[in-house]
Structure 1
Amino acid sequence: MALVQTPGVELGRKAPDFKLLGVDGLHYSLANCSKKNGLLVMFICNHCPYVKAILPRLIQDVQALEAQSIGCVAISSNDPTDYPEDSYENMQKIAKTMGFSFPYLFDESQAVAKAYGAVCTPDFFGYNTNLELQYRGRLDESGIKPAPADAKRELVEAMLMIAKTGKGPQNQLASQGCSIKWRF
């Protein structure tokens, strides 16, 4: 497990479109994931200890964002050949077990991760109503272990700011996690 940090923010970059299969058997696009106050695109997977550490808080925070008309979608781009825990079938199981309220999509070709420039799990991309990138930071201070319950909710605060003003915070701390498992 190699620790990877996300690169700096390319503010204003438009969200790349996608059409991916969800764990519910439906196909989702950028247009039907976006909501009136913006969109959060999350690259996650099932096996990564960094994702496992934040998953309960992430689910709670996504529910708070959805209540504010911010769309949220999770995408797994890992190659399940060497990481069978990240297979489509296992994605279905984790989404059901954890009660995901958001679409969980399989990027089997990995083209969507490449289009976004995703590098690790978790990797967060926060967009305003014009689908312009305004946040590329972390969920909170969690690492391989969950942050304390009173940790600042950096992602939620950033997305609420984006929903209100159209702009993200000036200071953004990079997300960190396992590298995306690319096909070679």
Structure 2
Amino acid sequence: MATRTPICDFGWRAPDFTLPATDGKTYSLSDVAGERGTLIVFICNHCPYVLAILDRLIRDAKELQSMGVGVAAICSNDATTHPADSFENMATMAQERGFPFPYLHDEDQSVARAYDAVCTPDFFGFDANLGLQYRGRLDASRARPADADVRRDLFEAMKAVVETGEGPRDQIGSMGCSIKWKAA
């Protein structure tokens, strides 16, 4: 079921976390935070919306990292109901796709709840002081990639955050598969 992210709550503070990553290390928010901004992305392995943008996300992450933006991806889906999103499968995807950022596992889903993540992909773009400045889409892609020359919404927004400390006031929410929550 497709879900859309809410409007950006400008200045909202990034909740801290400590999560295991597919590279065998453990990362906290301070470990992944960048000097000029931070991008936290909730993704998973199976979602067609994530798979449609993954190459562009990797490209944009590399470019943003070169500008001083820290990047991390988090998978919070219930792997019991969605085995493609297991930690082992996350590690395989990160290695095969050459993720330039840590791919973190939120097994108990506490980080997704703290961020109020609703879908995959869900983008949280923070300024240098970890205040939220962007909660929009990567680009106009949906479950299929958009044209190659499509406007790079996330990249342009985070570039503005790096240059001015502020994200754009007009943002188009991301759309994707709902987070697969564990049964209560």
TM-score range, shorter chain: over 0.9
Structure 1 CA distance for aligned equivalents of residues 177 and 170 of structure 2: 23
1:5-60 deviation line (CA, Å, top 9, x unaligned): 00111110000000000001110000010111110000000000000000011111
Match of 1:61, SS state, is helix
Figure out how many residues of one structure are paired with residues of the other and give that number: 183
Percent identity among equivalent residues? 55
Say what the alpha-carbon RMSD is for the aligned residues.
0.4
- What amino acid is aligned across from residue 115 of structure 2 in structure 1? Y
Unaligned runs of 5+ in 2: none
- What amino acid is aligned across from residue 99 of structure 1 in structure 2? G
Match of 2:99 in 1: 100
Query: Is 1:17 paired with 2:16?
Result: yes
Match of 1:116 in 2: 115
Match of 1:155 in 2: 154
- What amino acid is aligned across from residue 182 of structure 1 in structure 2? W
Unaligned runs of 5+ in 1: none
State the TM-score, normalizing by the size of structure 2: 0.99
Query: Is 1:73 paired with 2:72?
Result: yes
Match of 2:133, SS state, is strand
Alpha-carbon offset, residue 127 of structure 1 = 0.2
Structure 1 CA distance for aligned equivalents of residues 152 and 124 of structure 2: 15
1:147-184 deviation line (CA, Å, top 9, x unaligned): 10000011000001001111100100000000000001
Structure 1 CA distance for aligned equivalents of residues 149 and 13 of structure 2: 33
Structure 1 CA distance for aligned equivalents of residues 101 and 150 of structure 2: 23
Match of 2:63, SS state, is helix
| Over 6 Å off, 4+ runs | none
1:119-153 deviation line (CA, Å, top 9, x unaligned): 00000000000100000000000001001000001
Structure 1 CA distance for aligned equivalents of residues 42 and 83 of structure 2: 17
- What amino acid is aligned across from residue 127 of structure 1 in structure 2? F
State the TM-score, normalizing by the size of structure 1: 0.99
Residues 105-144 of structure 1: pairs in structure 2 closer than 5 A? 105-144=104-143
- What amino acid is aligned across from residue 133 of structure 2 in structure 1? Q
